[in-house]
Amino acid sequence: MVTFSDRPITRLEDLYGEGHRSAVEKLREAVDKGYFIAVLGARRVGKTSVVKTFLNHYGYKFLYFDLSPYMGLRAVSFQYLIPAEIGFNEKVLSSEAQLSLALISLRIKKVKLTGEVFQANMLSLLRELNNKYNRFVIVFDEAQVLAFVKGINYRGLLQFIHNNYRNIVVILTGSMPGLLEKIISPISAEEPGFARYIEEIHVPRWSREETVNFLKEGFKNKNVSFREEELYEVYEELSGIPGFISYYGLLRLRGLKHEEALAKTENYAISQWENDLKTFLKVYNSPLYIDVLSILAKTLTGATWSEIEDELERKLGRPISKSTLHRILVNLLKAGIIQKQRGKYIIIDRSLKKAVNKLDISTKHL
């Protein structure tokens, strides 16, 4: 069934698209094998939907930490890391473990929760969960935020779970590449580090056919009259990102005509991209990202490495190192913000191009 929603999908029958469904299958295989997993993809492509659908469909017991509200912060208190969802019956726990869970959920106001207390309670809770269930899942949604958490050692915690709690698996989702590696790389060179055993699952955009069929099915029996060309236009404009396509679908169901719905969705997409770019800038702490993007936003068919290099040098008035440019391009590629086609780097999203241009203009006037 096709559902237009502005919330993550949680039911397999509502999860549309080959890539999304196969991501759920891959998750199941990896969880069964006991691997730690990184679910990667652009913003609004459906990472949260894939993970929630997986948990819901197979009925695994879980704890779900949603870090997405803190994505733009460079310092996050561990006290924000309360579980957003508790996917098992707390009553089955010993009273000691119930207390630990209440503590880390900040339900007990009388105790002063230090980083150490938090960590000790988390570990003792997990020890019991590890003994009780033969498979237990912990999710950190938008896990790169962990790199900025103050007060507890998250890398140590993950490493400890990996080494000692065989029945627990951790699923990290991430849309800001380069940062997740910080969380999952070994603490010291001698330690084996669980990063080596991390299974990566990529959530793709929808294809043109998937986009068109998703909308068609969603409009069926709903009295929305549409022309086929309109749906192709939606794909061209929104480049297969489920979050935006679903938004357009919702507006059509509410009675808006194609032009109006698409224009509204475009505005929404531009403002969302603008937020993402600002977050990106804050977190990566480098204006070069916007410089590179603004070079690409001005081209129709993208630019080669050396074209970007030349243009950047001209703009900055100084040369830029190969490794810096490499890092920027790789992070942008992995974040799904740019693509590489026939040797050229390109921004395929029209709304993203517009957001980049807006931001470029506003930063020039600072």
Ligand X SMILES: Nc1ncnc2c1ncn2[C@@H]1O[C@H](COP(=O)(O)OP(=O)(O)O)[C@@H](O)[C@H]1O
Distances (CA, A) of 104 to 70, 127, 192: 18, 15, 29
Distances (CA, A) of 35 to 32, 49, 123: 8, 20, 19
Instruction: Give the chain's end-to-end CA distance (angstroms, integer).
Output: 48
Nearest-angstrom CA–CA distance, 53 and 37: 16
Q: Which stretch binds Mg ion (CB under 5 A): 47-55, 72-80, 84-92, 207-215?
A: 47-55
Report which residue's Cβ sits closest to ligand X.
46
Q: Which stretch binds Mg ion (CB under 5 A): 30-38, 40-48, 79-87, 267-275?
A: 40-48
The entry of Mg ion, ligand X, none that residue 44 binds, CB within 5 to 8 Å by partner kind: ligand X
The entry of Mg ion, ligand X, none that residue 218 binds, CB within 5 to 8 Å by partner kind: none
Count of residues engaged in binding Mg ion, rule: CB under 5 A? 1
Cβ 141 to Mg ion shortest distance, Å: 6
Among 27, 37, 40, 43, binds ligand X (CB under 6 A): 43
Given a contact cutoff of 8 angstroms between Cβ atoms, the answer to whether 238 and 269 are in contact is yes
The entry of ligand X, Mg ion, none that residue 168 binds, CB within 5 to 8 Å by partner kind: none
> Of 178 and 243, which CB lies nearer to ligand X in the complex structure?
243
* CA dihedral over 353, 270, 335, 27, signed as positive or negative: negative
Among residues 126, 211, 189, the alpha carbon closest in space to that of 163 is found at 126
The entry of Mg ion, ligand X, none that residue 100 binds, CB within 5 to 8 Å by partner kind: none
Nearest-angstrom CA–CA distance, 203 and 41: 5
Under rule CB under 6 A, residue 46 binds ligand X:
yes
Under rule CB under 5 A, residue 53 binds Mg ion:
no
Given a contact cutoff of 8 angstroms between Cβ atoms, the answer to whether 15 and 24 are in contact is yes
Cβ 262 to Mg ion shortest distance, Å: 24
Given a contact cutoff of 8 angstroms between Cβ atoms, the answer to whether 138 and 170 are in contact is yes
Under rule CB under 5 A, residue 144 binds Mg ion:
no
Q: Which two tokens stand for residue 313?
A: 């040098």
> Of 249 and 302, which CB lies nearer to ligand X in the complex structure?
249
Q: How would you classify residue 326: left for phi > 0, otherwise alpha for psi between -120 and 50, otherwise beta?
A: alpha
Under rule CB under 6 A, residue 45 binds ligand X:
yes
Under rule CB under 6 A, residue 249 binds ligand X:
no
> Of 47 and 162, which CB lies nearer to ligand X in the complex structure?
47
Report which residue's Cβ sits closest to Mg ion.
48
> Of 6 and 228, which CB lies nearer to ligand X in the complex structure?
6
Q: Which stretch binds Mg ion (CB under 5 A): 46-54, 216-224, 311-319, 343-351?
A: 46-54
The entry of Mg ion, ligand X, none that residue 159 binds, CB within 5 to 8 Å by partner kind: none
Under rule CB under 5 A, residue 48 binds Mg ion:
yes
> Of 177 and 243, which CB lies nearer to ligand X in the complex structure?
243
Considering only residues 1 through 20, tell me which ones interact with ligand X, judged by CB under 6 A: 5-9, 15-17, 20
Among 26, 44, 258, 353, binds ligand X (CB under 6 A): 44
Nearest-angstrom CA–CA distance, 271 and 275: 6
Count of residues engaged in binding ligand X, rule: CB under 6 A? 20
* Interface residue list for ligand X (CB under 6 A): 5-9, 15-17, 20, 41, 43-49, 242-243, 246
Instruction: Give me the residues that bind Mg ion (CB under 5 A), please.
Output: 48
